[in-house]
Structure 1
Amino acid sequence: MRIAVSGNDGFIAPHLLEMLGDVASEIPSEALDNPRLLDGALASCTCLIHFNGHPPNSEIERNDPDAPRLMKEWARGILDAKKRHQGLHLILVGSLRVHPEYVDERFSGETTLSPRDATAEGQLWVEERALENATEDSPVSILRVSNVHGLPVGGGKGRGYLHSFAGEALTGWIGVPGDGQGMKEIIHVADVCSIIAEVAHSPPPTREALAMGNGWATPISELAEAMASKMGADVQMWAPEKDELWGVVEVGYLKERLEYEPMVGMEDIIQEAMANASF
């Protein structure tokens, strides 16, 4: 099979392209509004993976009022191309931020939808338009994730809040938002890519929505304290909250759908963050 990847997010997409190797090709951004170029890029593909969780301009803030419009314009070419290419499985990769804040239950594909910022509004609009045209011949998969951890393919500062904790620990303290009892999802970029690849090779009957994560329900203060003790730092509570995404995923759906088991465990993620700590 051939897989096309569009909407490069600069972090997960490079890892995915590296994992998929020769079976994947990246669609250049200029092809998204050029039907001839886009059709040529999709001619031999059976799956298109579009990263739908960010505006095309990475410098735009998530709550910028222009974000939904830009995301819609960016995705319209993809949505139109799907109609022209029968048999194409469309996978949209986005954020869990389409769900409301402080949900009582764990995140799943069935969790209530209520976008919490402008970018999430744009993401949800694209998802809904795609699902309207899902068929047995051209299925649609919606994958949502947040708090992805790991190192960029080309090197550089690690991503994810545990990498932020490790960087803070170099200054002698780790600031924990709130009272420390909140829980955040943690998943490594290698596992995210593995899930996406599995879905690409095993399309749903017509449509699906999956929340990606591990469901590790560990209070954030315990993670901070574990890292602080290993790095000789102190933990300070009640650091300012910066649009935090609290909550963990109901991983049972992933296990049932894909027999998912993480390749990278919690301790591995912590060790990677400490080994690559930077300001």
Structure 2
Amino acid sequence: MNRLQVTGLSKTYANGFQALNDVSLDISNGIFGLLGPNGAGKSSFMRTLATLQAPSNGEVLFNGVDIMTNPQYMRAQLGYLPQDFGVYPRMSAFDLLQHLAILKGLHQSKARTAQINSLLHHTNLYEVRHKAVATFSGGMKQRFGVAQALLGDPKLIIVDEPTAGLDPSERNKFHFLLSEIGEQVIVILSTHIVHDVKELCPQMAILAGGKLVAQGAPRHLLANLQGRTFSKLIPKDQLQQHQAMFPIVSSRLKSGMIEIHVIADYLPGDGFALVEADLEDLYFQTLRDHQTAEV
């Protein structure tokens, strides 16, 4: 069992901007969802875990090893799938994995080739291994990104906005792949897409303004909203009017109209009905509470 312990992590850049403020997390094997809007501090958190930058304060231990005093230990354990995965235009999937594997220190030819073939099978890319990665669909490129992230048998995998731009079919394939990987290692899924966390993550946290504003199992975090979440279906031209009248946490198109959700201790008004709270309600309500507290 792997364990990542983050204690009191803060990061202030030279221009005075504080990207992280006293973040503490304890994560073990499985997929851990890190939700937050753009600018919340997710990228700074990931860069720190990847030892690409030192924190201003705090400590990060991976399997008991301080990664700031021993960054090479962490780098040897780390796999990373960025949001935008650049590739050489004419290089095949197999050749590019060979190149990346050598860069990761896999120098024994037979063992390297065996691992690459295994990963190509695992990501369902073996049949297209001799095709240029640049010609792959978005979903295939993401699965190739997983394959390269798994080179060297890492124990911690960081995945940054993995399903942005994927169609529903490719998103489902990617979810299944991540779910399999998370059974053996720690996978940190950094995203602003609530649906990905809902489908994949038994544990999660929400970052806002560099602060950890919620963490735990989604079902436990949602418990506080059950019995307090109300829904109403309204014409699109009434949204602005309702926004002025009610603290709407989310709105979505539904059958040509707009479904609004409001968190309240009692029935907000005519036309509202009590509904089961979902992770999107939790996310937006948590961000709203944080913004209110910061004012």
The answer to whether the superposition gives a TM-score over 0.5 is: no
- TM-score category (smaller protein): 0.3 to 0.5
What is the TM-score when the length of structure 1 is the normalising length?
A: 0.34
TM-score of the pair, normalised by structure 2: 0.32
